[in-house]
Amino acid sequence: MDVLRRLPTVLTAEELLDKIFRKSSRISGSNERERIINKLSTISNTSKDYFNRIISSHPDYDSLPSFYREMVDLLVGVEKIKKSLASLSWANSMIQKIVTKSIGKIKKGQNPVEVYRSACGRIASLIEDIDEDLKFLNEAKNKLKEIPTLRDMPTVVVAGYPNVGKSSFVSLVSTAKPEIAEYPFTTKKIFIGYTKDLQIIDTPGLLDRPLAKRNAVERKAILCLKHAADAILYIIDPTETCGYPLKSQLSLLEEIKKTFGKPMLEVYSKADLHEFRDRPAFSARSGEGIREIMEEITKIALTSSPP
């Protein structure tokens, strides 16, 4: 998601103060009173521009597609981001008020140097008060840029035990070279292939073992996948040459069915090695059954995908 990849770096309180006051120190004026009024306006403009740029760089998290919203929530917390952005917005409006009042005081004849010194002190402590929020937003920026980018198109997630033939299937039916991304909070990679109509996601290590054996982080990654999936393609290797008994493969199938609650297509792989045809069967070796399965899963995903 581009907006999450392009969040700007956020300065610390110290850096931000430096930026704001450095700019104002270069300001001139026909006399000291003018010069100080100009400095205060510059402080106001620099901080307004800065805060607005940071705040407007963030998307409306509540209207993000659920896959991204869930990812953001897991990685950093949507409410925490909102709270920090609100602190920035509050500090910004306080700074604007301080500057307006201070300029008013100077215009009414108060000592400009004293007014300026007191304004700067209050602005500095306001910005120091939001240091945690600034730091948090910068950490968030670094984490959010790692979220894998999925296209907004009907999406099939491929599941099944290791070595049943998931990757062979995905690479065979994908037109483009698959994209590879990593879940930022696991070491798991996700492989994303595309056909004309579908996005197909293969997730080694996530949907290939009993879900109960997953650790908390992996379970969260699985929840995210659930949001991305319009349909699940579950691949079964009835020859058991994958190294896992059919019985285990069928019990994982039931588990994924329950966990995802998404339309599923159950298929047999390695059709060149066996005669089971009580489910659709394909062979990545001979090409048997591939076209039929793609037609079927495309139909299921398109029907299940919200328009």
Ligand X SMILES: Nc1nc2c(ncn2[C@@H]2O[C@H](COP(=O)(O)OP(=O)(O)O)[C@@H](O)[C@H]2O)c(=O)[nH]1
Size of the site for ligand X (CB under 6 A): 15
Q: How far apart (Å, rounded) are the C-alpha atoms in residues 82 and 77?
A: 9
Q: Is 77 left (phi over 0), alpha (psi -120 to 50) or beta?
A: left
Positive/negative CA dihedral, 82, 86, 92, 93: positive
Closest CB to ligand X among residues 124, 250: 250
CB crowding 71-106: b at 16 or more within 10 Å, else e: bbbbbbebeebeebbebbeebbebbbebbeebbebb
Strands across the sheet containing 264-268: 179-182, 189-194, 199-202, 155-159, 231-236, 264-268
Among 129, 146, 240, 272, binds ligand X (CB under 6 A): 272
Region near ligand X per CB under 6 A, out of 31-39, 111-119, 269-277, 291-299: 269-277
Binding mask 150-189 for ligand X (x = CB under 6 A): ----------x-xxxxxxx---------------------
- Whichever of 88 and 265 has its CB closer to ligand X, that residue is 265
* Cα–Cα distance list, 213 to 86, 205, 232 (Å): 40, 11, 20
Q: Residue 268 CB, nearest distance to Mg ion (Å)?
A: 17
- Using CB distances below 5 to 8 A depending on partner kind, what does residue 37 bind out of ligand X, Mg ion, none? none
Site residues for Mg ion, window 139-198 (CB under 5 A)?
A: 166-167
- Please identify which residue in 44, 84, 102, 269 interacts with ligand X, judged by CB under 6 A: 269
Round to whole Å and give the CA distance between 61 and 172: 36
Q: Which is nearer to Mg ion, 4 or 158 (CB)?
A: 158
Residue nearest to Mg ion (CB): 167
Minimal distance in Å, beta carbon 163 to Mg ion?
8
Residue 197 interacting partner from Mg ion, ligand X, none (CB closer than 5 to 8 Å by kind) = none
Q: How far from each other are the two terminal CA atoms of the chain, in whole angstroms?
A: 19
In the complex, which residues of this chain contact ligand X (CB under 6 A)?
A: 160, 162-168, 269-270, 272-273, 283-285
